[in-house]
Amino acid sequence: MIREAPTQPDRRGHGYQDRTLAYREFGNRVLKVVYVEENDGRVIITAMWGEA
């Protein structure tokens, strides 16, 4: 789930320090994944659940 959110998000946003936010909806819940793009791929900083 967490690894899929950056590649198949329902929506994206921009965070602090060039971090990208990926949101993936699961029913009435939303998974928010914060990550950065680096030369060899993505580094996931954190993931959290929220209400839709």
pLDDT of residue 1: 83
CB-based burial, 12-25: b 16+ in 10 Å, e otherwise: eeeeeeeebbbbbe
Are 46 and 34 in contact, with CB atoms under 8 Å apart?
yes
Residue pLDDT tens, the chain, 52 long: 898 999 999 999 999 999 999 999 999 999 999 999 999 999 999 999 998 7
Cα distance between residue 38 and residue 29, in whole Å: 29
pLDDT of residue 20: 96
Question: What pTM was computed for the model?
Answer: 0.89
pLDDT of residue 23: 97
Residue 47: is it exposed, middle or buried by C-beta count within 10 angstroms (0-12/13-18/19+)? middle
Are 37 and 22 in contact, with CB atoms under 8 Å apart?
no
pLDDT of residue 52: 73
